[in-house]
Amino acid sequence: MRIFVAGATGVLGRGVLPRLLGAGHEVTAATRSPAGVALVEGLGARAVDLDLFDAGAVSRAVVGHEVVCNLATHIPRTSKMALPRAWAENDRLRTEAARNLAGAALEAGADRYVQESIAFLYADGGDDWLDEGSPIDAVANLATALEAEASAARVTAGGAQGVVLRFATFYGPGSHTTRDTVSLVRRRLAAGFGAERYISSLHTDDAAGAVVAALGAPAGTYNVGDDEPLTRREYFDSLARALGVGLPRIAPAGGARLAGKRAAVLARSQRVSNRRFTEASGWSPRFRSAREGWPEVLARL
């Protein structure tokens, strides 16, 4: 298939490109830097210099492609996540860029549109498993993720296959948030609240494999996470053990309320089920939980 990828040089895209090419697809990747062009072309894909906020340019670039994958994000460093302005570009990507890409996919007659989204959208579920029908609480910067999902739904309404992947928390060797997390745990600190609350996670290699698997999934919204969500205590302790350092301190859940709505998300208990996606696509994660994944990530950092 002829596949257009936005966000090809991000932490997810860098894993997706070689998998698509290895499966025999023809891939065009959008990028805005010489380093991005070198990366894309070095892998064997075609690079195109593209401003995702220019609707006309996006439409021209997408012509001739059967699939459009929107993996474009701009996630701020952990130290800046509480600042509203730090999410401005990410919000534009979820709104303007997603609308442009979805519109271009429809104009080009593409068969499929894949949209990256996030499982953070779900309200606190306590110890219960959360599926795609569980309550949503899209506070603060999460609201624009729903707008990105609406762009995929628009593609489906137009007669093609719009697929939304609600990813769990990424961890992997190419992720700056992972490096920040490792740095904090070395100092016996954890970037989260509520030791006994659940965090659903996903190795970035498994996330990349899920994007490829989504090429064969029916239209719809899917949770994509590992098989065994851990409590924050289990999650951060497993990293500490892999590092060989003392177990980190985790702030009480109530402390998140003092830091505003953006930080409050880090106290939610989200035990997210991947069952619908595994059954629809045949995908399964290589790493069942972060207990297995952390040692592999540290070996590659």
Residue 140: which pLDDT band, with cuts at 50, 70 and 90? confident
Please compute the mean of the pLDDT values over residues 45-52 and round it to a whole number: 97
Residue 83: which pLDDT band, with cuts at 50, 70 and 90? confident
Angle CA 245–247–253, to nearest 5: 145
CA–CA separation, 225 and 151 (whole Å): 22
Domain count, the chain: 1
Residue 240 lies in a domain: no
Residue 258, pLDDT above cutoff 80: no
Residue 168 lies in a domain: yes
Which residues have C-beta within 8 Å of that of residue 58, sequence separation ≥ 6? 50, 52, 97, 100, 101, 103, 104
Residue 180 lies in a domain: no
Residue 19 lies in a domain: yes
**pTM score above 0.85:** yes
Residue 297 lies in a domain: no
CATH code of residue 121:
3.40.50.720
Q: Radius of gyration of the chain from Cα atoms?
A: 19
Residue 260 lies in a domain: no
Residue 251 lies in a domain: no
Per-residue tokens: 113 = 């549109």
Residue 260, pLDDT above cutoff 70: no
Residues of the domain holding 114:
2-172+203-225+273-286
Residue 192 lies in a domain: no
- pLDDT recorded at residue 157: 98
More confident residue, 87 or 189: 189
Please compute the mean of the pLDDT values over residues 193-220 and round it to a whole number: 98
pLDDT, the chain, mean? 95
- pLDDT recorded at residue 141: 84
